[in-house]
Structure 1
């Protein structure tokens, strides 16, 4: 109940704050700037107090930095708006670039969606260049953020009310869903892991609202998060009939652009081997959400899995190609070889079309899982075309809390406790 109440309060605050931003952009901007001035002033004074106590020269440097920012902001109060404008412009350019890369990938792989990707990419580029180059007071930007907050907050309030209304008629429909910005969603898995670790380290009771213990479900969705590097962004995969399916950039010989681009590879492995390996060998914490399906949904899901398999061929990792089972140490740094050796997983590459090429900001693990949930009607479609595991983690959590939701179970697997929490 605490999670539901938090969502409703968060949504209500976002709607109210967004409404004020939309109606009075000048007033809300002045309030925010004054708050920032107070924070900078207090920070400068506090660092001096710390220097007197600790005699650490870094405290003096921090104090001077805060004081300089305080003086600059006092005389040029439009600077934060221009900085925000430039940051948002760069963000738009990066989105446009990501969509452009995906468009080129689709063209090379003869996949659909090239025209719409081009239009969205063009829109982001025009908006980004405009925001970076224009040099005037853009009240419209504040109003745009306010409008966005009202829509996002309204969704949170609506989701929260659906969680407490026993008469809610639940039905998944495929539609565009307003979410937090992609760069924030990318950190959701790591934030969730840190929150859990704080509970466990403090030895506080870690309790979830129990929905239905050991509820029967057909489909499982796993969101992984690890302690370092790209593991913090998370990974998402699914399991059906006891077999886990995971898609990613697993062929090291095809890595490009710092491992964000490469040949798309998926593997199949029994869940009973996959989860222990992900926790023990890869040091991952796993959030599992169980989804109950009806007969029609099972048929749709099985047809999609079959489509994946029909459009793929068996790919052999290094330890298989070189028959290196008797010298595992030489291959343990290669993830697919390590996975195959420990679990017997079989890996596949796509012959053509979508997912033939992996792109971290396009056809990624979240889009692969979205193909499965999308055929069931899940409304996680993003107008940006970029979906991260964090986007799905937030959606799964909100849908789990709703009354009459087909997401009937939630399980946490973590190494700290050497056991799982069923909820």
Structure 2
């Protein structure tokens, strides 16, 4: 394969981004101006493509016995969905209005809960305004569904046009300005889609090592000098499927979450915010891979001296809001029927070799899975210091993973390195018969 020079790679990335924007914007125009006949042709084309992909998966499953079950299941879903779309061509638009309405109304409730949580901490936030906007928009799409309006067509068209326009504008910004700190317009996928991105990446890594067990993952070891690392976690286990995020700076790793099981409320979505800090990067990675069965996607950011000082000042203010949390159970062997959250805290303290803290004040005193979560914590530190990393609304680890990957591909970005850690390429140590956690596996 021909290796492009750095300058050629930059121009190639810019051209690819611009052309993607043109195609996306044109698709939005087409959807907006399409006649009913065009719409039905698009529906039948979509159904045909789905059916074709379904039969393609049957063929792949027939060839690969080890993946047969997975391919056959996907084939059945795709073929049934294709037949369903052809049978009810008017349903997709009507259902889309309902789905958008439900999503916006739930978002309104999520923002409202976040507003009341932050109000208790005497912290100002955009949550109330976002809640009102989401409520109004949700009611509009619900009325659209009830009265069979085609409002969803304008939503889809507008989304594609804004998305395409932002890609074209970002490409032109990169072309004429080489400064990595030029602010970019970021159009995110809905959080309900973004949250599945870590799991999709995990499946891709596992599939690679399953097909090529003796070949190293080339894209996993691209390194340049960096000052700030963001860790995105992916796992198949429980809530970990949605991912997790933490960061490392000046030799210290910071991980924020709801680690106090006794404080959990509202189906474990709300609880005391707990911060874990460690200087042992290898021990933390080994803990995540061995105990939590995760894969880590680690992105390195290059910062200016001014940005580094700003991050240090931010972390100094953070230290003023925390106090050590030293629950007694972490110093003694766990009982066999201990809650899983206690097991996690026991392991992270004893194996990742760090210190646990709780917040005595500030917005992160209370953890909220849809508000002040692990990603918001990372964004609060780096987003205030690096202009290109700023997120608004509900953000998930998948939102950050998708964003960081896009920035890493741009030659002029702050994101200069990417590493992938998994049990396939990292030494997690041999199984030990004296392992204190063996009976908890």
TM over 0.5: yes
Matched, 1:343 2:348: no
- Give secondary structure in 2 for the equivalent of 1:276: helix
Tell me how far 1:306 sits from its aligned partner.
1.1
Deviations 1:287-313 (A, max 9, x none): 111122222111110111111110111
Structure 1 distance, partners of 2:299, 2:351, is 25
Structure 1 distance, partners of 2:29, 2:417, is 36
Structure 2 distance, partners of 1:195, 1:12, is 28
- Give secondary structure in 2 for the equivalent of 1:412: strand
1:94-133 matches, cutoff 5 A: 94-113=106-125, 116-133=126-143
Q: Is the 8 A contact 2:50 2:79 kept in 1?
A: no
Matched, 1:405 2:416: no
Structure 2 distance, partners of 1:63, 1:170, is 42
Structure 2 distance, partners of 1:293, 1:331, is 43
Q: Is the 8 A contact 1:288 1:412 kept in 2?
A: yes
Which ranges in structure 1 are unaligned for 5 or more consecutive residues?
47-57
Structure 1 distance, partners of 2:176, 2:206, is 33
Normalised by the length of structure 2, the TM-score is 0.79
Q: Is the 8 A contact 2:233 2:296 kept in 1?
A: yes
Deviations 1:253-290 (A, max 9, x none): 11122221111111101223211111111111111111
Pick the aligned partner of 2:376 from 354, 367, 379: 367
Give the match for residue 286 of structure 1: 296
Give the match for residue 320 of structure 2: 310
Tell me how far 1:168 sits from its aligned partner.
2.4
Structure 2 distance, partners of 1:219, 1:6, is 28
Give the match for residue 149 of structure 2: 138
**How many equivalent residue pairs?**
394
Pick the aligned partner of 1:88 from 88, 100, 103: 100
Q: 1:70 to 1:167 in 2, by over 3 A?
A: closer
1:7-406 matches, cutoff 5 A: 10-24=20-34, 26-35=36-45, 38=48, 69=84, 73=88, 77-113=89-125, 116-134=126-144, 135-157=146-168, 168-173=178-183, 177-203=186-212, 206-208=217-219, 213=223, 215-270=224-279, 271-320=281-330, 323-324=331-332, 326-327=333-334, 333=340, 334=342, 335-383=344-392, 385-406=393-414
Q: 1:208 to 1:162 in 2, by over 3 A?
A: farther
Deviations 1:34-74 (A, max 9, x none): 3356579989999xxxxxxxxxxx9xx9999779947852x
Structure 1 distance, partners of 2:205, 2:315, is 33
Structure 2 distance, partners of 1:9, 1:419, is 42
Tell me how far 1:152 sits from its aligned partner.
1.5
Tell me how far 1:345 sits from its aligned partner.
2.0
Structure 1 distance, partners of 2:121, 2:408, is 36
Structure 2 distance, partners of 1:349, 1:400, is 33
Deviations 1:139-164 (A, max 9, x none): 3321221121122133345556777x
Q: Is the 8 A contact 1:301 1:376 kept in 2?
A: yes
Q: 1:329 to 1:193 in 2, by over 3 A?
A: same
Q: 1:160 to 1:186 in 2, by over 3 A?
A: farther
Q: 1:40 to 1:186 in 2, by over 3 A?
A: closer
Normalised by the length of structure 1, the TM-score is 0.82
Structure 2 distance, partners of 1:328, 1:339, is 16
Structure 2 distance, partners of 1:45, 1:237, is 41
Q: 1:356 to 1:282 in 2, by over 3 A?
A: same
Structure 1 distance, partners of 2:262, 2:55, is 54
Q: Is the 8 A contact 1:102 1:362 kept in 2?
A: yes
Tell me how far 1:244 sits from its aligned partner.
0.5
- Give secondary structure in 2 for the equivalent of 1:245: strand
- Give secondary structure in 2 for the equivalent of 1:199: helix
User: RMSD across aligned C-alpha pairs, in angstroms?
Assistant: 3.4
- Give secondary structure in 2 for the equivalent of 1:208: helix
